[in-house]
Structure 1
């Protein structure tokens, strides 16, 4: 007796081109590539038994994909949806993991880890990981923030951002600040240099060889930096640095200086500077008053990020100070001066991209999220 006749396969030009392209592709799944080969051989008029012999498959497998293709064409070559294994974790268990992660903490730690949560809820650590990933929970991460309490925050921020994005004609905008208490650190043992397959190694203990303070002024338009190191950080040194800036500035254009008022800065011992510290002493006020072409713009309290010279300080720390070894303050100051000179050979200005309205909108969204979080906890 003869069995059920095999379905005849007739291919259109588009179907043949698609099947042949899937056979040639290296990235395609092996299962789909084999199915395409089966259909191409069936389209040549070969019986399923011969196709199975050539490709090393079972005859019933070839017959299955022949029927699927004749019924659904190219779409029939993909696997059908499979329900998979039934769920072993209920919605209530997922909700409990999320609730504990957000509202509680283990007895021996400030936050949950994957395995401590798995032990507490009697779930596998892979299940806890999937739940945390699905809900965007990362208890091990912590970020810091500080909102400015300056009552004139909006006015000061709009003033300074306006200088960055639309500077006055024929005027120089310079960001001035100091990086105090820069330590000259040496390692207790020699640094072992890098070798193939071996990273540079240094001791975690160090020797302090003194400190220095760097006053710097960044030209917003060109990116050039004027800097000078001082042994002390007082109004006297700051006034001397302002005089240096004045000497190096060209005559004629107005000078707009962006700096902080130091009302919110603290010393190494935690004592708050008095209101007239360093940047606002009578001598400095008098010196600025004698120069009407100088215009001072104070940054808001707790908003040093708006001063672009802080970005240059971060670059100095990362490239020069973080891994530097200095046996004396003289060596430290020499390296800082060399870094400034190298920077000024090819200075590049920092590009300020956010407008004042965009910054205020971002601060507003943060405050709203914080308020919602606090209200949810209450």
Structure 2
């Protein structure tokens, strides 16, 4: 009972037997050790019949194994290293036919080893020559923001379409989901410029029909008016050409409290406002029905106001070194990644 390597389940059974040896009733032993009288009686009877060996786990019922370790290894190896001749990935049926096992057996093996051939995810590795420096810069802003300054994640969500369904939407009913026609009518597009304040989660948004440098400069002017004059403004943005035009650079020189920090190319996941754009798309735009651009813009402004009434900041947790270490793991899995 006092051995440190003894499993806790066995140690409890030993304590039950020692307590019973003192003449305590099953009910009192159960109350003392946090068990049940039925369990105490069972282990007492097992000990009387089999002594110490009776405190172990008995063989469980069921038939013997019909799938060997070699067959399991064959399924896993084929799943990871080969593809079927007539498809891009394995299904439980095709793999079962290939190895001569049942479909349910293949499914159990895949679940045990965490294999999901039907799933595929996307990724993109940045080729920015200053990738490491930019990651340290942006992540440093998130984890250790400068004093007397606000950090904003800025980007534009362009080409937001005002879509109206060609026929009325059928509402949801018990057992029947909401139904929309597959075709739609376009009524124009708009562009949302948004700045997500990292500390509070509040969003400053501005809608424009185009997304040129002129509109980006106007959005910077809006930020300048809404942020208190005594604070510096650090903007995390991507490498879109409109962020680096001569007109924008000239305006930034005239407003030295603005500091731009660029994410690496192909690394939009570093910009937290992209996560907020996903919220906007999922909760307001994707299934929305808008008969005009004005209706779409009014809907977006209402959603931003609702968000700002109870904002929720996105908390960045990974350090730059953790991100780079994770990236190195991906590179090790890609052939010829050193090129």
Residues 157 and 300 of structure 1 are in contact (CA less than 8 Å); yes or no, is this contact kept in structure 2? yes
Q: Over aligned residues, Cα RMSD in angstroms?
A: 3.0
Deviation by residue 1:6-44 (Cα, 9 ceiling, x = unmatched): xxxxx646774269859xx9x99xxx959948x99xxxx
- Aligned partner (choices 67, 76, 90) of residue 98 of structure 1: 76
CA distance in 2, matches of 1:181, 1:166: 34
Radius of gyration: which is bigger?
A: 1
CA distance in 1, matches of 2:122, 2:24: 58
CA distance in 2, matches of 1:79, 1:299: 57
In the TM superposition, what is the alpha-carbon distance from 1:354 to its structure 2 partner?
Answer: 1.6
Report the secondary structure of 2:243's partner residue. Answer: coil
Q: TM-score, normalised on structure 2?
A: 0.83
Mark the CA change 1:19 to 1:233 in structure 2 (over 3 Å): closer, same or farther: same
Deviation by residue 1:164-219 (Cα, 9 ceiling, x = unmatched): 11111111211110000111111122112234454322223222221111111112
Mark the CA change 1:203 to 1:70 in structure 2 (over 3 Å): closer, same or farther: same
Alignment of 1:177-256 (within 5 A): 177-256=155-234
In the TM superposition, what is the alpha-carbon distance from 1:327 to its structure 2 partner?
Answer: 0.9
Deviation by residue 1:245-293 (Cα, 9 ceiling, x = unmatched): 112222122211111112xxxxxxxxxxxxxx21111111111111122
Mark the CA change 1:19 to 1:144 in structure 2 (over 3 Å): closer, same or farther: farther
Residue 322 of structure 1 aligns with which residue?
Answer: 286
Residue 155 of structure 1 aligns with which residue?
Answer: 133
- Aligned partner (choices 17, 27, 30) of residue 26 of structure 2: 17
Residues 19 and 36 of structure 1 are in contact (CA less than 8 Å); yes or no, is this contact kept in structure 2? no
In the TM superposition, what is the alpha-carbon distance from 1:78 to its structure 2 partner?
Answer: 7.5
1:291 aligned onto 2:262: no
Residues 197 and 203 of structure 2 are in contact (CA less than 8 Å); yes or no, is this contact kept in structure 1? yes
CA distance in 1, matches of 2:302, 2:128: 37
Deviation by residue 1:288-309 (Cα, 9 ceiling, x = unmatched): 1111221111111111111111
Mark the CA change 1:87 to 1:175 in structure 2 (over 3 Å): closer, same or farther: closer
CA distance in 2, matches of 1:252, 1:35: 72
Report the secondary structure of 1:216's partner residue. Answer: strand
Report the secondary structure of 1:340's partner residue. Answer: helix
- Aligned partner (choices 236, 241, 265) of residue 301 of structure 1: 265
Q: Which runs of 5+ in 2 are unaligned?
A: 1-19
Residues 139 and 319 of structure 2 are in contact (CA less than 8 Å); yes or no, is this contact kept in structure 1? yes
Alignment of 1:1-378 (within 5 A): 12=21, 16-17=25-26, 36=41, 69-72=47-50, 76=54, 80-81=58-59, 85-262=63-240, 277-368=241-332, 370-371=333-334, 374=335
In the TM superposition, what is the alpha-carbon distance from 1:71 to its structure 2 partner?
Answer: 3.0
CA distance in 2, matches of 1:171, 1:82: 65
In the TM superposition, what is the alpha-carbon distance from 1:79 to its structure 2 partner?
Answer: 6.6
